[in-house]
Structure 1
Amino acid sequence: MQDADDSRQPAAGPASETLRIGDWLLVPSTHTLSRGGESHRLPRRLVDLLACLASRPGETFSREALLEAVWARKVVGDEVLSRAIAELRGLLGDDARSPRYIETLPKTGYRLLVPVMRMAGEADAIATRDPAAPVEVSELTADTSTPPPAASGRLAGVIVGLLLVSVLIALAGWWAWSGKEGQTSATPESTGWTAADLVREHPFRSGPHWGWQPRYSRDGRWLAYAINDLETGESWLEWATADGSAPRRIEGGVGRLAAPVFSPDGTRLAFTAWDGSDCTLRVVDLPAGLPRDLGPCGGSQSYPLDWPREDRLLYTGPSGDEAGPAALWRTDPSTGQSARLTTPPPTALYDSHPRQNAAGDIAFLRGPHGQRELWLRQGDSERRLLPGAHRIPDLAWTADGRALIVASDRDGFPALHWLNPVTGELRLLGGRGAATLDIGPDGSLLYERRRYDANLWRYSEGGEPERVTDSTRYEAFAAPSPDGDALVYVSNRDGNGSVWWQRGATEHRLSLPDAEAWVRPQWLDARHLLLTRYVAGGQTRIEVFDLAGQRLLDAHPLAGPGFAAQPLGGERILYARGHGDSAGMRLWLRDATGERELGAARAVADFHAGDGWIAWESRGDTHWQLLQVDALDEPPQRLPLPATLGAWGLHAGRLVYAAREGESWALFLQPLDGSPASRWLELRGAPADGRVVVDSEGTHAILSHVDAFSTDLMRVPPAPRGVSPD
């Protein structure tokens, strides 16, 4: 169910006639492409592109002509056109290698291969036809007559004139559309955001407690944010003027309070409260009202809210099905009437972080923490804005609503990015360590910058914990050598993720080629490592590194695309595909002769291998699944997951995992025969990554946990008026 203003009429654009393109019906006025019982809602750029190709079927359009016709006067590159052609092919069910609809002419352009017929009658009337109903011949108006020779010159002049008029109409239509649907002309410079802007940033709040999730009021006068006391676990909300002065604590009731957002008129504040098991949506009247509950929220105790209209509060709500994913909902805080907005697939687990601009477009995140996709909802249609899934803590529209500022680790480290939601153009701005954020109506940016000090610790039976690494940054994903004499791990002490080698008191950074990040090292044998390499755009590749030669073995048979590889003995590795996909990972085996997929391992969230076993946990499942390496075609064995599972691994026929009991964390040993788990070692804190490793004798374990955490709120003021951002 949608609000009345959600069904916005599409703006006029370059294409207006309803067209029969092969066996597809294109209705530009409703942005629909339909065939039989299948129907798609297209963004305007795809409507214009398909209509342009259909204007002269069989003729070749150069890339330059298509860019000028569809993205006229916009600074876009060839990759934008290539991506749009690929999207059209996907919608039409076409194949670039054996095209039936759109043919690529290398170094020349594109042409439409199927016949096109204009549909007689009103487009709106035709748009209501059942797509499965046959089209009568009398409805088609294809003019196949040949003009007399004497008239051909006059007709050519008329055609040229009509083409000029159509170009002018197209431009006028584009300007009308672009102001409403995102403006392909939006650039970091035109929206006031470039990397140079972050030079003006300065600390805004650096108190002893964790301040996060800042939000401006609609008029820009006020600011609210959440506070956590990391020592006591207490949380509260603060409300202050936009310059941060005179903060006052808000009475929010019991629970862990988070996600504050102002009502459009600035007189109320909505937020979430978590009591340890349930999430509640609350609202309080400012300046000193008492909180009241609006209803349950879902997914997480701290997923952000948005309040774009007095009667429309957006939030992540429960699915209504105990096993289903959390979805986006809207509610009227005055009446309590609510409606569901999205229906995520089960493997996505959550839709969260809604942000609506003035045009009514809702940007949001889909997927679990660490593997979130960025989506856009326009009316009743949804589309993914970026390929792949990544760790995305937050997002916000620029003040003009034409672009998004996104905090993401897409480039291998957390930072701020600028995104054009129409063209998909993405630029790295900076702001390393960026997390939650908001943009004020004057264009000022307030964002949270996080810094973790995480170290590797060795826990032993009957001994005190021993700190293995000693830096002020982040060390994780330890991997002991087969003989237990050396250790490799990941650190960001020198910038992006790099891999370090340690033996006793000696340590050094591996000499690795440039990459966005190097992560998840594993020993293949005594002299070779398996590494995961992040390249541009968040894609990953498995590399084999020769320790003696300090070089990558590019031709090694185990090298290739993938994520998080683990050795299985000999020239066999287990690796994952689909890390950048909110549907979860899939597991594959690779050896010198080829590779095969483990059919039972789908929607994988994490996995480990060792001692002849493969174990994984899947999205939305409450059990580990286990297979013996020598019996991969057998049904997997299942063991229940602990409710507070942290890091885990496999050792000597047992699962070793970290879990919280009460206020403390400990390591537990779970036999694979399903007998009860036993408590093994006490931990100093929560794990910082998903890996626990145990020595060959089974007497000590190594894992990473956070020893210190600090955060600042950073402010970037708007660019001075009349001064270029650059």
Structure 2
Amino acid sequence: MSEQTAIGKIEVSPAERPGRAGALNFSAGEALVQPTLNRISIRGRVAQVEPKVMQVLVLMAERPGTVISRDTFLDTVWAGTIADDYLLNRAVSELRKIFDDDPQAPRYIETIRKGGYRLIAPIAPARVAAALAAPAPGASPDATEPAGPTPAAADPAEPEAAPEVRRRTTPIVLALAGVAALSLAAWLLLPRAPSGSATAPALAHDVRPLTSFVGRELEPALSPDGSRVAFIWDGGGAFDVYVKTIGSEEVLNLTDSPVDERHPLWTADGRALLFARTDDTGISLMRVSALGGGVTRVLRDGTMREIRGMSLSPDGTRVAYAGRQGASEPYRIVVATLEGGERRILSTPDAGTLGDTDPRFSHDGRTIVFVRGVNEVAKDVYRVRADGGEATRLTFDNRKINGLAWSPDGGRILFTSTRSGTYALWSADPDSGALEAVGLGNEDVHQPATAPGVDAIAFEQWMHRSQLRRIDLSGQADADAGRLLHSTRWDSNPAWSPDGERIAFISNRSGPHGVWVSQRDGSGAVQIAAFEGMFVDNPAWSPDGALIAFDASPEGRTAIFTVSPEGGTPQRIVDGPGDNRNPAWSRDGAWLYFESNRSGEWRVHALPANGGDAIAVTAGPGAHPRESADGRHLLYSKPDVPGLWSLPRTDWRTRAGRAEETLLFAGLDPRDGGSWAPADAGVYFLRRPPGDVPVLSLFAHADATATDLVALSSDFEGGGFDLSPDQSRLLFSEMIARESDLRLAVPRR
């Protein structure tokens, strides 16, 4: 289990989710609207209106820019009463009088002949206007139309038969639930800089908290005016979309779906959000008002099953997203038009790689930058024309990258990288690739987000933590691990030495991840191998205790290295083609097993310890190889297929044909492919009973049955199971914290 891929759910009672309170205030153009007081304030005047008049306004604000039919007004505002068009016309007329709005040249409410009415004034949380930058010279101070074209996604395209947003209050006040009444501090915004500016961010930044909920807040998106941040949060189980006003604790919950929703994006006018929803039928791009309400599908891609990053073009007509058809396929950048749904695959990463993720349109919409990954730990930044062409590589780090964005002025590319050891923020020139560090102090930075002209950077701050855990198998309970075995950093994938006196494990105790060795109680821990921020994982002792094999990615592709447990210079023993990882020694030390995708799929290979070429020992997929306790069989899991498999051990170089593999048992979940350890009696493994907590179980060879031994936490995420040489204790790593909050960085003045 690596820190990069550690994902789990933290259950929070629905009652603890924010954004379920009553209606709060909002602004419509120049007006301050206070629904609970039935009051509208504009240009120094205060108007008290009837409740039905306020409900008409709120219903339009729930779906700004959308035509609300007369029947909808009458069925909603005057539900259960006898009403006619006269009452609606009178309410609209009163609102226009308050707004001083000309129906022939409307700035607030537009009449759609034979359709109804729609609210065209910009809608935002209360007092946002006070935070906006001063209008440019010559601009009309009364202008209320948003700058630039309205995104094509602003109009509903394919209404869902049954909207999945559950009503918290009445339909009238739903849209305003939880919208904050506090404005963004004035220091956040600066006048817009030309999008072609190449000025590099050089100032130090002040970093301030944005969210602090229990669980994981991810994928921030700053609103066009910089007053709000949209994000996803798993507070109720699945990820849902939320909006928070910066400088306030009030939060609006926009969606409530049983499936995960990802990658929220603001439309250019700040009135609505787009987000992705995935299920068994593919990827759907959805739209919801920034004030809440019904969810509308605007695009569907049934060819893709997973998405990893999304971006809206500046003119709102196209969306770029990273999709893949299955776990064995690489992610590709897809550009689709929102009107018509035409799709074009923009990138062609190599087969067998992670592929291309996190696309971001440039401010002029002409190019897209993205992250190309050989795997999860070796990535670089690329750039391609939005209309197609050959991608240009901009960085050559082969490091972990988790997110990128354009600088607020559009002149540079911001991205997170472990090139300095831990995740930090860097900027790159989009033409030359020249790099500069961005001064955010010691912040752990993931998924940066910006908005054009808003001099601020929102990002995720992770608080993931993994520790080593030891189980006494005779007592079927946790064993005293010793206070020195635990740390406040990331410790994972432990391995016992052959004599049982020491352990090797992966840790970032000194900064970058490296291989550490300690006594079995955790004392005397020392780092013996690291690659200055390059990813390192999966240590394995040789049977004589003289070497520790591990995998690392110092040059892009993952390779197998060995190092003395006393330290020294690591020696590369398996390199290319493809990636090579998860080493394990045969019981007699004659072979080193590992998994490799050199053939286009992950298979188990064996390398002679005394030299020679590696041999593919599985005809099909295989991962996490390890020999049985008696050394007579090779055991392995398969990517995306449940179960543990067995293959008879022979001399891999001289065997005439392949033996048939056998499914040993089917109870191993694919996500736990490395969470098992062979023993004389059978195999200890992680079992996940449907609807119950995960348990440590023993599959017995004698009768081919599984016996549950120790219950684990309900949200268990871990791995690296290893049995002590005397088979009395099981050692593994377990995630004990998987929190993330959002932070905001602004230049220090």
Give the structure-2-normalised TM-score. Answer: 0.59
**Out of 540, 552, 568, which is 2:568 matched to?**
552
**Cα deviations across residues 680-706 of structure 1 (Å, max 9, x unaligned)?**
543225565542112345554221111
Pairing 1:167-566 to 2, within 5 Å after superposition:
190-193=199-202, 197=203, 200-229=206-235, 233=237, 235-243=239-247, 246-273=250-277, 280-294=284-298, 295=300, 303-308=308-313, 309-317=315-323, 319=325, 327-333=332-338, 335-342=340-347, 346-348=351-353, 351-357=356-362, 358-366=364-372, 370-371=376-377, 373-374=379-380, 375-378=382-385, 379-383=387-391, 385=393, 386=395, 391-409=400-418, 413-426=422-435, 429=438, 433-441=444-452, 442-461=454-473, 462-466=475-479, 468=481, 469-503=485-519, 505=521, 507-510=523-526, 512=528, 515-516=531-532, 519-525=537-543, 527-532=545-550, 544-547=562-565, 550-552=566-568, 564-566=582-584
Q: CA contact under 8 A between 1:605 and 1:618: conserved in structure 2? A: yes
Q: Deviations over 1:438-496 (max 9, x none)?
A: 12323421111112222112234452234633322221111112233432222223322
Contact 1:646–1:657, Cα closer than 8 Å, also in 2:
no
Whether the aligned pair in 2 keeps the contact of 1:220 and 1:440 (CA below 8 Å) is: yes
- Does the Cα contact within 8 Å between 2:238 and 2:257 map onto a contact in 1? no
Deviations, residues 476-530 of structure 1 (Å, cap 9, x unaligned)? 1111122334322222233222444444545122253664255433222454341
8 Å CA contact retained: 2:374, 2:556: no
Shift of 1:708: 2.1
2:661 corresponds to: 637
Q: 2:540, 2:585 within 8 Å by CA — same for their partners in 1?
A: yes
Q: Distance in 2 between matches of 1:616 and 1:331?
A: 41
d(CA) in 1 for partners of 2:352, 2:703: 27
Return the match for 2:711 from 682, 695, 715.
682
Q: How far apart, CA to CA, are the structure 1 residues paired with 2:479 and 2:596?
A: 36
**Offset of 1:388 from its aligned partner?**
7.7
Secondary structure of the residue that 2:201 maps to in structure 1? coil
Unmatched segments (≥5 aa) in structure 1:
1-178, 721-726
Between 1 and 2, higher relative CO (CA 8 Å, sep ≥ 6) is seen in 2
Matched residues in 2 for 1:581 and 1:394: separation?
29
Instruction: Evaluate the alpha carbon distance shift between residue 278 and residue 339 of structure 1 in structure 2; reply closer, same or farther with a 3 A threshold.
Output: closer
Partner Cα distance (1:216, 1:619) in 2: 37
- Report if the CA contact (8 A) 1:282-1:291 is conserved: yes
Cα deviation per residue 1:584-618 (whole Å; 9 max; x = unaligned)? Answer: 68845142334434375898765445543445556
One-letter amino acid matched to 2:451: G
**Alignment correspondent of 1:593:** 611
Cα distance between partner residues in 2 of 1:663 and 1:568 = 35
Q: Which amino acid aligns with 1:212?
A: L
Who is 1:712 aligned against? 741
Name the amino acid aligned to 2:286: R
- Where 1:446 maps in the other structure, the secondary structure is strand
2:200 alignment partner AA = T
User: Is the Cα–Cα contact under 8 Å of residues 540 and 550 in structure 2 kept in the other structure?
Assistant: no
The 2-side partners of 1:557 and 1:305 are apart by: 38
Letter in 2 for 1:658: L
Does 682-691 or 475-484 show the bigger shift?
682-691
Measured against aligned partners, the alpha-carbon deviations of 1:527-576 in whole angstroms (never above 9, x if no partner) come to: 434154758666767555445xx34277x896999754332255545265
Taking the aligned partners of 1:199 and 1:270, their CA distance within structure 2 comes to: 30
Q: Is 612-621 or 468-477 further displaced after alignment?
A: 612-621
Amino acid of the structure 2 residue aligned with 1:598 = A
| Structure 1 counterpart of 2:506, one-letter code | V
Residues 512/376 of structure 1: CA separation in 2 closer, same or farther (3 Å cut): same
SS of 1:205's equivalent in the other structure is coil
The match for 1:660 among 685, 688, 706 is 688
CA distance 1:327–1:199, change in 2 (3 Å): closer
What displacement does 1:262 show?
0.8
Change (3 A) 1:643 1:505: closer
Task: Quote the offset at 1:201 in angstroms.
Answer: 2.8
Q: Is the 8 A contact 1:649 1:657 kept in 2?
A: yes
Letter in 2 for 1:437: P
Question: Which residue, 568, 576, 592 being the options, matches 2:586?
Answer: 568
2:614 maps to amino acid: R
What amino acid maps onto 1:684 in structure 2? S
Equivalent residue letter for 1:464? A
Q: Which residue type is aligned with residue 552 of structure 1? A: G
C-alpha distance after superposition, 1:385-434 (max 9, x if no partner): 35586543322122344432222445654333333454444556575532
Q: Find the residue that maps to 2:352 and give its secondary structure.
A: helix
Deviation of residue 239 (structure 1)?
1.6
Q: Aligned in 2, Cα 1:511/1:454: closer, same or farther, shift over 3 Å? A: closer
* Paired amino acid for 1:568: S
**Percentage of matched positions with identical amino acids:** 19
Pair 698,433 (structure 1): closer, same or farther in 2 beyond 3 Å: same
Seen in structure 2, the aligned counterparts of structure 1 residues 608 and 438 have a Cα distance that, compared at 3 Å, is farther
Write the letter of the residue equivalent to 2:650.
D
Q: Relative to structure 1, is the Cα distance of residues 505 and 566 closer, same or farther in structure 2, using a 3 angstrom cutoff?
A: closer
Long gaps (5+) in structure 2: 1-193
CA distance in 1, matches of 2:392, 2:643: 30
Q: Which amino acid aligns with 2:413?
A: L
> What is the match of residue 148 of structure 1?
none
Name the Cα RMSD after superposition. 4.5
**Partner AA of 1:637 in structure 2:** E
Q: CA deviation at 1:237?
A: 2.3
Q: Structure 1's 638 and 349: CA in aligned 2 closer, same or farther, altered over 3 A?
A: farther
After superposition, the Cα gap between the structure-2 partners of 1:625 and 1:312, relative to the gap in structure 1 and judged at 3 Å, is farther
* Change over 3 Å in CA distance of 1:254–1:234 after alignment to 2: closer
Q: In structure 1, the residue corresponding to 2:650 is in which secondary structure?
A: helix
For residues 142-195 of structure 1, what are the alpha-carbon distances to aligned partners after superposition, in whole Å with 9 as ceiling and x for unaligned? xxxxxxxxxxxxxxxxxxxxxxxxxxxxxxxxxxxxx99x99xx6xxx3215xx
- Shift, 1:254, TM fit: 4.1
* 1:401/1:201 CA distance change after superposition, 3 Å: same
Distance 1:647 1:433, change over 3 A: farther
Aligned equivalents of 1:601, 1:415: Cα separation in 2:
42
Single out whichever of 689-698 and 674-683 deviates more from structure 2.
674-683
1:73 aligns with none
Letter in 1 for 2:686: A
Aligned partners of 1:251 and 1:514: how far apart in 2? 44
Which residue of the partner structure matches residue 172 of structure 2?
Answer: none
Pair 1:396–1:463, CA change in 2 (3 A): same
Does the CA contact (< 8 Å) of 2:210 and 2:246 recur in 1?
Answer: no
